[in-house]
Amino acid sequence: MPIPHPDPSPPASARRPALFGLLVQLVALGAALALHRGLRLCGVALPLPWLAVVQGLLAAALSAGFRQSRWWWLIQALFLPLLLAVNSLDLWAGWWLIALLLVALLHWNSFGERVPLYLTGRRTERALFGVLDALPNTLRFVDLGCGLAGTLRRLARRYPDGQFVGVETAPLVFLLAWLRCLGVRNCRVAYRSLWDEPLGDYDAVYCFLSPAPMPRLWEKVQKELRPGALLISNTFEIPGVPARQTIELDDWRRSRLLIWRR
Ligand SMILES: C[S@@+](CC[C@H](N)C(=O)[O-])C[C@H]1O[C@@H](n2cnc3c(N)ncnc32)[C@H](O)[C@@H]1O
């Protein structure tokens, strides 16, 4: 197996993007309020919606200046204007709490692990079938962070002699995945962190995570995966460790399957 090159330490904006995003919002808010006050002294009153737009533009500019990913620029630009717009709808306050709880229970791992919930597409899934078709039909497979277990369940049905395990720690996502796999004999979902799942028994380890955990995952794979077993990553590479095979999928999110063999 190739030895990974040491990963250069990423900037603070990449290490803690959510915290950094919040900081950017606060700095932009301070600057917008200072501008508002300055204009007031000159006899110009900036209406609240315009103040929010100015704050959003400042936040997006700061985000770009600190080289956050482009989708952060959009979040930064729209955060305060959207907050004010929704607030003006005068909704029952409980909806905010319910929405917050739902988002937290679904995207539980966005903050700590920096891995939100998004699902493997059908095209990627077909490519995965192509990879697994070459393994014995009694294969043992794990999806590290199985999400709603749609892919896991379809794999279990396609390979009835195989064993399929998903681990998941976002509470609501786990519950839905567990319920969905109840009737599938060779499919099991556990409420367990991927870091606590021993990998030694599996023929194929699948993950669709984010760039953040990949270096640590590689260390775990090197320690635990048995020779000949596969690590298959949807889209995210391991810095400094070229995959043995890459399958480009040419879909809207430019997915690809990266495959390493231990
Ligand atoms: C991008 S989704 C992929 C879902 C599914 N594997 C698929 O491909 O459709 C990543 C999932 O990993 C879960 N996750 C992130 N960190 C985890 C951890 N440490 N342990 C278990 N699950 C985790 C997230 O909650 C999320 O559901």
Nearest residue CA, atom 9 of ligand 1?
Answer: 119
Closest CA to 76 of 19, 25, 18: 25
What average pLDDT does the structure give for the chain? 90
Strand-pair partners of 259? 232, 245
Nearest residue CA, atom 23 of ligand 1?
Answer: 145
Q: What is the mean pLDDT of residues 43-55?
A: 90
Q: Could you report the per-residue pLDDT of 182-209, keeping only the tens digit for each? A: 989 999 999 999 999 999 999 999 999 9
pLDDT of residue 250: 82
Sign of CA dihedral 102, 106, 109, 111: negative
- pLDDT class of 219 with cuts at 50, 70, 90: very high
234 CA: nearest ligand 1 atom: 8
Of 262 and 142, the structure prediction assigns the larger pLDDT to 142
pLDDT of residue 15: 64
Strand-pair partners of 164? 141, 187
Q: What is the mean pLDDT of residues 14-25?
A: 81
Give the residue, out of 103, 106, 109, with the most ligand 1 atoms within 8 A of its beta carbon, to mutate for a pocket test: 109
Number of H-type helices and E-type strands within the chain? 9, 7
Q: Could you report the per-residue pLDDT of 99-152, keeping only the tens digit for each? A: 889 988 888 887 788 888 889 999 999 999 999 999 999 999 999 999 999 999
Ramachandran angles phi, psi of 130, nearest 5°: -60, -40
Q: What is the mean pLDDT of residues 236-241?
A: 95
What is the reported pTM?
0.77
Give the residue, out of 146, 154, 178, 197, with the most ligand 1 atoms within 8 A of its beta carbon, to mutate for a pocket test: 146
Q: What is the 211 CA–ligand 1 centroid distance (Å)?
A: 13
Beta-carbon contacts of residue 4 (< 8 Å; ≥ 6 apart): 215, 218, 238, 239, 240, 241
Pocket of ligand 1 (CB under 6 A): 108-109, 113, 115, 117-120, 143, 145-147, 151, 167-170, 173, 193-195, 208-209, 234
- pLDDT class of 4 with cuts at 50, 70, 90: very low
Of 97 and 162, the structure prediction assigns the larger pLDDT to 162
Q: What is the 145 CA–ligand 1 centroid distance (Å)?
A: 3
Using a 10 angstrom Cβ sphere, with 0-12 exposed, 13-18 middle and 19 or more buried, the burial of residue 226 is exposed
Sign of CA dihedral 248, 250, 121, 127: negative
- pLDDT class of 3 with cuts at 50, 70, 90: very low
